[in-house]
Amino acid sequence: MSKFEYDDFIEKSNENDDLDEETLFIVSQTFKAISDPTRIRILHLLSQKEYSVNEMADKLTMLQSTVSHQLRFLKNLRLVKYRREGTSIYYTCDDKHVMDILQQTIEHARHH
Ligand SMILES: [Zn+2]
| Gap from CA of 110 to ligand 1 centroid (Å) | 8
More confident residue, 3 or 96: 96
* DSSP notation for 20-42: -HHHHHHHHHHHHHTTSHHHHHH
**Å from CA of 111 to ligand 1 middle:** 6
Please tell me the distance between residue 103's alpha carbon and the centre of ligand 1 in angstroms: 11
Quote the pLDDT of residue 6.
73
Domain range 20-110, its CATH number among 3.30.470.10, 3.40.50.300, 1.10.10.10, 3.40.640.10: 1.10.10.10
| Element housing 63 (H / E) | none
Cα 49 from Cα 80, distance rounded (Å): 12
pLDDT of 15? 62
How many angstroms separate the alpha carbon of residue 112 from the centre of ligand 1? Answer: 7
Q: What is the pLDDT of residue 25?
A: 95
> Where are the domains positioned within the chain?
20-110
Q: What pTM, to 2 d.p., does this model score?
A: 0.81
* 89 CA to centre of ligand 1 in angstroms: 36
What pLDDT, in 10s, does the model give residues 21-79?
Answer: 999 999 999 999 999 999 999 999 999 999 999 999 999 999 999 999 999 999 999 99
